[in-house]
Amino acid sequence: MTAREPIDQQQAWRALSKHAEAMREVHLKDLFQEQDGRHECYTRRAAGMMLDLSKQRWRDETLDMLLDLARAADVPSAINRLLSGERVNLSEDRPALHTALRLPADAKLEVDGKDVVPSVHRTLDRMATMVAKFQAGQWRGATGRAITDVVNLGVGGSDLGPLMVTHALADYRPRDVHPVEVHFASTMDGSQLADYLLRLNPETTLFVISSKSFTTIDTLSNARTARDWLFSHLADGNDTNGLVMRQHFIGVSASPEKMSDWGISECNQLEFWEWVGGRYSLWGAIGLPIALAVGMDNFRALLDGAHAMDRHFATAELENNLPVLLALAGIWNVNFLDIRAHSILPYDGRLEYFASYLEQLEMESNGKSVTNEGRSVTYSTCPVLWGQLGPNAQHAFYQLLHQGTQPVECDFIAPIRRYDRVEDEATRKHLKGQHRLTLANCFAQSRVLMLGDDAIEDDGPRPSHKRYRGNQPSTTLLLDRLTPETLGALVALYEHKVFVQATIWDINPFDQWGVELGKKIATQTEQILTSHEGIESLDDSSRGLIEAVWRESDY
Ligand code: F6P
């Protein structure tokens, strides 16, 4: 890739900066007043969803300029490079091919001269075989009892994606099969795991150790505790240790050697590839807990939905391309309107973990400050992104959105239809009523954030503490229904949004060097805590904290 002129020195950026000076003074309510049919004008549809960008603080000319910016950053050829398997992850010199994990079996995609699609589908087939065995009650523990509980031990991308999707698709748990409950433990302090160890039966519990690197201390600490728990309850000698390892552990990693070294038997190893980033990995073997929870057909439907979004991303012109438009709205807010906080607000309890999933996807990908050529950026990159279920957040942090001092961009996400499949008529009616109420709240909040006081008929003068200024930009994303397909498309939409923004900012969204130093220092600190040696090399605050621990505990 040739060095390019810094994006903020290009004509398209300068034009936007100038345009933004005027737009900063314009209120959203005026934009709606001046443009009839604004909703339709800024709404696009694809892959079972509708993206309404009309509550962004922009005009047609803004969007034209942003599209010029995307062209100046050569977004179309970047999309092509990503999807065709070029080595877009420059600092690690490899492709970023999560999209290959959702290609259909008859597709072809070469990496280093080798078609990767057959191995992707071999892994999917192996997952299917495993899932079928669990669902038939034939995956038995060391004492011969069928496995009923699977605990995924992983962190970051090896936890958040499977956790989020498993929760979101809970309605799709298959009936009429041997029931297997899927659980997640990620925290290095062992508190989540400890809770499962108290409640679960070792005879019927299996652990999936999910770690791309198979070196992550958080996961390996939990795995060691789980192994000892099983050994102490089930094994009575080296022979049975082997049986426990075979019947109670599955490993998922890009490092088969490390899985073998840890004791995972070869037939229980699911592999993926260095060219799949951790936070982009739910689509393959890391998705095993999803497939166990909702069945392989639904897992494949999730992949199909993501693939539909990939096709859209690859083929739709920029002005109708959902990920591109979502990315441009973010760029406009961050770089030109100085709005550097972004809240993710799903109005559907099934999307409880969606915001924390996106926190990693967006901030670990685009929390960068050097360009691909190693220069410090001279503009802002990823905003601070956080969120929660919208209805609950209304009773928590919406106060800040409505009357605080921070400008915040919000994404409202909701399905149009819900509860169609609830069998009991009376319950269905009540639940549908609750969904209607939820949609009303979703639309009301984005309206108040947009219009402020003008959202309500004039009800006379109000004191200043009861006033709303509005003008907070938002995007509303409506899914037809929340299904495996639309969820797959939704996640792929955000993955590609992140890529488009990284392309414009000229940063690498596929590495995460910023987390490495913390890991090294933690290792050193643990050595000091354990050995009681070397504390003098630390700063005064760290010394004080460690000494407090020594004084009060037996460490
Ligand atoms: O420390 C950050 C990170 O490397 C993430 O990028 C990754 O998702 C997580 O740790 C877990 O890594 P692994 O799957 O290798 O255990």
Give 515 Cα–ligand 1 centroid separation in angstroms. Answer: 9
Tell me what the mean pLDDT of segment 393-406 comes to: 98
- pLDDT per residue over 239-251, tens digit each? 788 999 999 999 9
Q: Which of 226-230, 493-497, 550-554 has the lowest mean pLDDT?
A: 550-554
**Across the strands, what pairs with 152?**
184, 208
- pLDDT per residue over 334-369, tens digit each? 999 999 999 999 999 999 999 999 999 999 999 999
- pLDDT per residue over 71-82, tens digit each? 999 999 999 999
Nearest CA to ligand 1 atom 3: 156
- pLDDT per residue over 42-66, tens digit each? 999 999 999 999 999 999 999 999 9
How many Cβ atoms are within 10 Å of 108's Cβ, its own excluded?
9
pLDDT for the residue numbered 479: 98
- From 158, 272, 273, the mutation candidate for ligand 1 (largest count of ligand atoms within 8 A of CB) is 158
Selecting among 519, 526, 532, 547, the annotated active-site residue is 519
pLDDT for the residue numbered 555: 86
Q: What is the DSSP code string of 318-387?
A: GGG-HHHHHHHHHHIIIIIS---EEEEEESSGGGTTHHHHHIIIIIIHH---B-TTSPBPSS--SPEEEE
Residue 410 has pLDDT above 70, yes or no: yes
Q: Which of 32-46, 332-346, 449-463 has the lowest mean pLDDT?
A: 449-463
Q: Do 213 and 171 touch, CB atoms closer than 8 A?
A: no
Q: ipTM above 0.95? A: yes
312 catalytic, yes or no? no
Give the angle subtended at the CA of 447 by the CAs of 442 and 449, to the nearest 5°.
100
**CA distances to 8, 24, 384 from 335, in Å:** 10, 12, 13
pLDDT for the residue numbered 218: 97
Tell me what the mean pLDDT of segment 367-395 comes to: 98
Residue 1 has pLDDT above 60, yes or no: no
pLDDT for the residue numbered 238: 66
Residue 459 has pLDDT above 80, yes or no: no
27 catalytic, yes or no? no
- From 286, 515, 517, the mutation candidate for ligand 1 (largest count of ligand atoms within 8 A of CB) is 515
Give the angle subtended at the CA of 520 by the CAs of 515 and 526, to the nearest 5°.
125
Please give the share of the chain, as a percent, with pLDDT higher than 90.
96
pLDDT band with cut points at 50, 70 and 90 for residue 2: low
pLDDT for the residue numbered 72: 98
**Mean pLDDT, the chain, whole residue set:** 97
Nearest CA to ligand 1 atom 1: 515
pLDDT for the residue numbered 458: 74
Tell me what the mean pLDDT of segment 409-431 comes to: 96
CA distance 125 to 278: 21
Residue 237 has pLDDT above 90, yes or no: no
- From 164, 186, 213, 276, the mutation candidate for ligand 1 (largest count of ligand atoms within 8 A of CB) is 213
Beta strands in 116-235 (DSSP E): 149-153, 181-185, 205-210
532 catalytic, yes or no? no
Would you mind telling me the total number of residues written for the chain in this entry?
555
Q: Is the CB of 441 under 6 A from ligand 1?
A: no
